[in-house]
A and B are shown apart, each in its own frame.
Chain A
Amino acid sequence: MLKKTIFLGITFLIQISLWGQIEFNNYKTIRCSGTIPKDFSQLTTDKISEDSQERRENLNKTQEKIFLEGIHYGIDGLLHSGLVIYGDPISEYVENIADKLLAKRPEVRKKLRFYTLKSNATNAFSTDQGIVFVTTGLISQLTNEAQLAFVLAHEISHYTEKHVVATFEYKTRRTQQDDQIRQLSTYSKDKEFEADSIGIKLYYETGYAKEELTPAFDVLMYSYLPFDEIEVPVNYFNNEYLFVPENLFPKKKYEIKAIENYDDTRSSHPNIKKRKSHVEESLKNFRNWGDQIFLLGEDRFHYIRNLCRFESIRTDILDANYVDALYSIFLLERQFPESTYLKKMKAHCWLGMAQYKHNGSISDVVERNSELEGEIAALHYVIKKLKNEALYAFALREIVDIRKQLPPSDEMNEIYQRMLHVITTSKSFDLDKFSDKTFSEAAEEFLNSKHSDTNKVEVEKSEKLSKYDRIKNKRNKTDPTVFDSTKFYYYCLSDLIKDTLFVDAFKSMKDSISQVQDQRDRYYAMSYKERLEFDEKNKKEKTFSDFILVEPIAISYKKGKINYESSEKMEEDYRSAINTTASYFDYSIYNLNSKELKSIGTTGFNERSILSNFLMQMTQDTEIDILPVDYDDLRAIKKNYGTGKVIFTIVEHTYAPRVSPRALWFIFYPPGFLSYIPIPFMTGNETELNLIIVDVEKAKIEESVSYYFKEPMFKQILEARMYDIFKNLNSNTNY
């Protein structure tokens, strides 16, 4: 019996470890699972009315209204941002740690809910509603479960001590999500010390080891660095075809500048040194400490941390932090060298960097020299140093190699095609300049030619050449004497130069791009009347029939601040206007919005999150034809709904009549002032409507509409606008 049990146990363990390994090799971003928690599905207005039953003694009615609106709309915005997940392994793990921490306080435990926030910020924060958010960035930085337990204990203390209500800023209503998160995780120094003290008690009672407490603050101090500090070897990029000289890497190490005892007089948080001292003082209050570091098991912690680290790559790519993602890939490749996911993400990074370089905005992707710290600095340094054609060649090389290594897939084909598009549209990329020899072959040939007899003859000949012939010779790549080791990238595509398939594909794309460019130039040279006639002749075939509508956003401002009630009504009107108008054109609309979560379920919520993340990725730089990080998931959505056309839209409205200071001139003609007065009131409406239709299969924006108009916000006006948009969808030409 015992033998059988041991055998079963071993088999189970092997299966678990194998499963884990396979999971990371074919990793897919974590999604929500199970039933939708009430926090996600309940309407904000209902939450506010429920919450207003509980009287907050310290607040007057106005403050209470501002507080409830602030926290509920703010948190609901975050919950529906597509970045928060529930029922996933990470959230479950965090819940399990909370179970341990609050084993003796079931009444508190019952009130708390824990969700994972996909963000690379090292953060955790609790809300007055009893929600604790833990970021994937935080877990990926931790070294053990005990540290996470302390962070959770600290956040639970903020909740139990009602710190949110005490530090809420009643005078400012945050509009940006980052601001809201910052506000929710910012307390006064006293509150931080208090949360540390109470947190330590919880931590102590659970039996965790005290030795892990102060290192938890190191996590905080170095949280701006990647989740590990390992040197990138100078031969990291080298392979059969690609050779990168050492001098491309920085000669010096970039020191880590973080200090414990920074000036915290202007900060809401006490500095790390003070917090460490305070914790060390608090430790003295407790005797007989436990020695647990992993109550839920070390393997599980490492598994969860790896999930978070894999997620951090995806988050970095979403945020266009390609170099950071590349460094994380480098770190994880050591543990998962065969991971398909890491390889694909690496291809995404190289494509993204090439596209940013092509767009002239590479500085958005790499850090400034003054900001470089630690080992990751080497990667930033190298990428920054690469000239356009060098970076394109690097990217193409990497993408081609990864494509060869992986089984054929649409995603890799798309990455390859887009990379081809970058090089074919780039003025600085000339395929003729690239050598059909590898760097080592060319170098060897060069050295041989230096020492050969023929070289002597060549040298004699060369002595007799004119300045201009020498220049021409130097520029002739076929001449081995012009081997230039600084142009090492000219030798990294030697196999592709000889590959007729590649060369043909390159030429054919270049030709078709130049044809399109010519057609476009001709179109813009036409007169208005000619364009109308051209448009009429070349009307697009009807390509739109069904749409997925992702959460139309409506924001109404009053005196510069968001008016939540009016925004909610406007959002309802807008949604209804889109649906009603679409029916005039026989378009079917599939609504994926937070108000209908009960009907769309967790599957719909996941799809909505994927689409929202796609939008987030696209908006990093709208001029770049970015490839979605969740490429396969988006295609699955198309398959599910039978349409890949997704509408994202936002409408913002404010009414702010502005009396011009020039009206003072009416002092010389007072009746003129009477005439002038209605004008600012009539023209005080300002509305901005933005709508894009994205084809998720092509991962491209199909249509984009941006209107700024001075109209009040009525449902009928929104309907008229939507009618106009839908009507014009099928009448536009390709230009």
Chain B
Amino acid sequence: MRNLIILFLICFFQLNLNSQTNGYFGKKFILESNLMFYNPCLYNVASYMDGSENYKSSGDSYKIANNRLDYGYRLDFGFNKRRNSAIHLEVGQEFFSFNPNFKYSYVYDGFTSYYAEEVKVRSLSFMPKIEFTSPDGLLPVGLYNQIGIGVNYYRPLIKDYSLIEYGSNSVTKTSELFNPEFKSKSISFLYKVGMRIPINKSMLFNFGFRYLFTWNIDKYMLGESYAESKYLLSNYSMHAMINAKEIRKIMLFETGITFAF
């Protein structure tokens, strides 16, 4: 990560700020704040085909329901290097949940099998991006494409999770569903197509679609086995399940406001 930031900073300061006039009304820097939404339909379909249902806690009870919406926000700082290309650095947080029963059928404590409620996860991501458009484009206005490589850090939400005993419907709470120290990271490859429409001389409305390919790069992929874990979900399982969720993102809709300065 540190290397990536250094690389970005080197690129940034090597730019020729006196190059041909570009930017929006001559403004070469942009600050963008976006809200991001997506429907994990592919994940839900896969989950359904796996026969594992998604349980959501509802007070002392639970309900079975698919996750309809994951969301996040992003802050993006960019510099228009040329009329049709720019470099950006993006920082974002995403909130999603995964079904811990998916693919691994159920949670087993050595005596009893359970269904666990969905696990909420928060991810923090950093991504340097290159933005480009058609040769006659005038960034940041209009249609743009972005490609980027970034890293994501995941932390599950620590709370008492509901467990539903297999065969009965009794709900118990546990704080040992997963290791509270658990964290993970992945690398993402991004392609985004978006559009910025000017509102006034320094503000633009932005919307677009993000396509991400995320791959877990954490050491746990090779490490700890299920049997060694004292938690119901081993670190390895947590990783695998986050990865299963991330890899099934089809596309994310993003919208927000861009400030040019």
Contacts and interface: CB of A to CB of B under 8 A. Distances in A.
B198 A714 contact: yes
A370 interface: no
Nearest to A684: B143
B42 A671 contact: yes
Contacts of B143: 682-683, 685, 709-711
A728 B82 CA distance: 13
Interface in A640-682: 671, 674-675, 678-679, 682
A731 interface: yes
A675 B19 contact: no
A678 B193 contact: yes
Given A674-B251, A709-B142, 6 more contacts: A671-B42, A710-B143, A716-B197, A716-B199, A717-B197, A724-B21
A712 B197 CA distance: 8
A710 B134 contact: yes
B116 to A, nearest CB: 27
B72 interface: no
B19 A532 contact: yes
Contacts of A731: 20-21
Given A708-B134, A710-B142, A682 B198 contact: no
Nearest to A719: B198
Contacts of A532: 16, 18-20
6 contacts: A679-B209, A682-B195, A714-B198, A723-B25, A727-B21, A727-B26
A535 B20 CA distance: 9
B138 A709 contact: yes
B21 A682 contact: no
Interface string B177-205: 00000000000000001110111100000
A709 B251 contact: no
Interface in A681-735: 682-683, 685, 706-712, 714, 716-717, 719-721, 723-724, 727-728, 731
Contacts of A529: 16
A671 to B, nearest CB: 5
B20 A720 contact: no
A211 interface: no
A210 to B, nearest CB: 64
B261 interface: no
A290 to B, nearest CB: 66
A720 B251 contact: no
Interface string A591-608: 000000000000000000
Contacts of A728: 20-21
Contacts of B42: 671
A632 B122 CA distance: 74
Nearest to B203: A716
Contact of B209 (A535, A678, A717, A721): A678
B208 interface: yes
A656 B22 CA distance: 28
B92 to A, nearest CB: 20
A708 B211 contact: no
B24 interface: yes
Contacts of B24: 720
A280 interface: no
Contact of B198 (A535, A679, A717, A727): A717
Given A674-B251, A723-B25, A709 B197 contact: no
A518 interface: no
B60 interface: no
A51 interface: no
A717 B25 CA distance: 10
Interface of B: 16, 18-22, 24-26, 42, 83, 133-134, 136-138, 141-143, 193-195, 197-200, 208-209, 211, 250-251
B208 A536 contact: no
Contact of B193 (A683, A685, A717): A683
Contacts of A716: 197-200
A712 B83 CA distance: 18
A639 B237 CA distance: 83
Contacts of B26: 723, 727
B134 A709 contact: yes
The dominant DSSP class at the A interface is helix
A532 B195 CA distance: 30
Contact of A720 (B16, B25, B136): B25
A685 B194 CA distance: 13
A111 to B, nearest CB: 48
A63 to B, nearest CB: 36
Contact of B136 (A536, A674, A685, A709): A709
Contacts of A675: 209, 211, 250-251
A714 B197 contact: yes
A725 to B, nearest CB: 10
A661 B137 CA distance: 26
Contacts of B209: 675, 678-679, 682
A727 B22 CA distance: 9
A395 B207 CA distance: 61
Contacts of B18: 532, 536
Nearest to B135: A708
A688 B118 CA distance: 51
B138 A674 contact: no
A708 B142 CA distance: 12
Given A532-B16, A536-B18, A711-B143, A724 B138 contact: yes
Nearest to B199: A716
Contacts of B198: 714, 716-717, 719-720
B208 A682 contact: yes
B193 A682 contact: yes
Given A716-B198, A724-B138, A679 B20 contact: no
A671 B211 CA distance: 12
Contacts of A682: 143, 193-195, 208-209
Nearest to B260: A720
Contacts of B199: 716
Contacts of A706: 136
Contacts of B138: 707, 709, 720-721, 724
Contact of B141 (A708, A717, A727): A717
A245 B83 CA distance: 60
Contacts of A712: 142, 195, 197
Closest 4 CB pairs of A and B: A711-B142, A716-B198, A707-B136, A710-B143
Contacts of B20: 532, 535, 728, 731
Contacts of A709: 133-134, 136-138, 142-143
Contacts of B193: 678-679, 682-683
Given A720-B24, A727-B21, A731-B20, A678 B251 contact: yes
A709 B209 CA distance: 19
B21 A711 contact: no
Contacts of A727: 21, 26
Most buried by A among B133, B134, B136: B136
Interface string A617-647: 0000000000000000000000000000000
Contacts of B16: 529, 532
Contacts of A719: 198
A709 B197 CA distance: 14
Contacts of B250: 671, 674-675
A731 B83 CA distance: 15
B222 to A, nearest CB: 29
Given A716-B197, A716-B199, A724-B21, A711 B141 contact: yes
B197 to A, nearest CB: 6
A518 B144 CA distance: 39
